[in-house]
């Protein structure tokens, strides 16, 4: 199993990377987490012989704008978009003929499945939990072949993030804020709070992602976030586009 960080920015694209998208490539399925502009790189890694499952955390544009280029791909085994209740309708509206190519007009089948709690098939299972953000947002706990990957997208520190990451092999956590920065009105993690979640959850490894493009304009600034988090949770890495972790 390989986790490939296709896009690691939050808010907008910049020289440091594209907006957020993560690929978990397994033997039997390709699993995508969020669909920022990093999604355009997916066909560099996804073959035509496996079904593709895309899990959307929320509808802020930096997490869904990549859906605009779905007609670039040839997902011959089809694409299933998994969302929280109510989000499917919003996606159908945004990606309609008024604004983009409708899902129904793509060359491969696209299904939208709204779910809450647990999704399970023969290859993997996904547990969701609500995050602490300005709009309804969910995080994911993905179980594949006795490995657990937790993904905490846009959120402030919350108990659900710790629960999702409990004893995970890898926690992928957003890091929009600089060290020491926080806001009750616009909840996000900084390196310290991401590391705090990793410590409390007793996860094995922490990968920081979703670096706010304005606050983190250079890769060097990401290294400061990494160093800050490592002082609390040593096994931390600040991700970059097309970096990967393999189990």
Asked whether the beta carbons of 211 and 219 are under 8 A apart, the reply is no
Q: What is the mean pLDDT of residues 136-159?
A: 97
% helix, strand, coil for the chain, step of 5 = 25, 30, 45
Is the model more confident about 145 or about 199?
Answer: 199
Chain centroid, CA 24 distance in Å: 10
Asked whether the beta carbons of 4 and 25 are under 8 A apart, the reply is yes
Is the model more confident about 170 or about 47?
Answer: 170
Q: What is the mean pLDDT of residues 125-151?
A: 97
Positions of E strands within 26-152: 30-33, 52-55, 79-83, 110-114, 118-120, 125-130, 138-144, 147-152
Place of tokens 């806001």: 183
Is the pLDDT reported for residue 136 higher than 90?
A: yes
Looking at residue 189, its pLDDT comes to: 98
Is the pLDDT reported for residue 181 higher than 90?
A: yes
User: Phi and psi for 127 in degrees, rounded to 5?
Assistant: -105, 140
Please state at what angle helix 219-230 crosses helix 191-201, rounded to 10 degrees: 40
Is the pLDDT reported for residue 61 higher than 90?
A: yes
The model scores a pTM over 0.85: yes
Chain centroid, CA 216 distance in Å: 18
Q: What is the mean pLDDT of residues 54-67?
A: 98
Task: Please give the CATH number for the structural domain made up of 2-246.
Answer: 3.60.15.10
Asked whether the beta carbons of 67 and 55 are under 8 A apart, the reply is no
Is the pLDDT reported for residue 47 higher than 90?
A: no
The pLDDT mean for the chain works out to 97
Cα 13 to Cα 185: distance, rounded to the nearest angstrom = 24
Where b means 16+ CB within 10 Å and e means fewer, 93-116 reads: ebbeeeebeebeebebebebeebe
Is the pLDDT reported for residue 49 higher than 90?
A: no
Asked whether the beta carbons of 122 and 3 are under 8 A apart, the reply is no
Which of 158, 121, 153, 157 has the alpha carbon at shortest distance from 138?
Answer: 153
Chain centroid, CA 25 distance in Å: 14
Confidence of residue 48 (pLDDT cuts 50, 70, 90): confident
Strands 138-144, 147-152: pairing kind: antiparallel
């Amino acid at each position: 199993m390989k986790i490939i960080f296709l896009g690691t920015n939050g808010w907008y694209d910049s020289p440091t990377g594209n907006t957020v998208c993560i690929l978990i490539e397994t033997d039997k399925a390709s699993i995508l987490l969020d669909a920022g502009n990093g999604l355009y790189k997916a066909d560099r890694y996804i073959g035509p012989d496996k079904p593709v499952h895309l899990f959307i955390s929320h509808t802020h544009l930096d997490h869904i704008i990549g859906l605009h280029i779905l007609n670039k791909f040839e997902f011959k085994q089809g694409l299933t978009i998994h969302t929280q209740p109510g989000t499917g309708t919003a996606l159908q509206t945004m990606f309609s003929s008024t604004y983009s190519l409708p899902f129904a007009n793509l060359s491969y089948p696209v299904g939208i499945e709204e779910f809450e709690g647990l999704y399970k098939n023969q290859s993997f299972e996904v547990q969701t939990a609500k995050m602490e953000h300005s709009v309804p947002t969910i995080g994911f706990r993905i179980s594949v072949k006795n490995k657990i990957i937790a993904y905490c997208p846009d959120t402030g520190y919350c108990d659900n993030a710790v629960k999702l990451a409990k004893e995970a092999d890898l926690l992928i956590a957003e890091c929009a804020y600089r060290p020491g920065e926080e806001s009750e009105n616009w909840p996000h993690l900084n390196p310290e709070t991401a590391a705090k979640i990793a410590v409390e959850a007793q996860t094995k490894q922490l990968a920081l992602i979703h670096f706010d493009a304005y606050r983190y304009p250079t890769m060097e600034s990401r290294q400061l976030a990494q160093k800050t988090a490592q002082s609390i949770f040593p096994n931390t890495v600040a991700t970059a586009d097309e970096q990967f972790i393999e189990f």
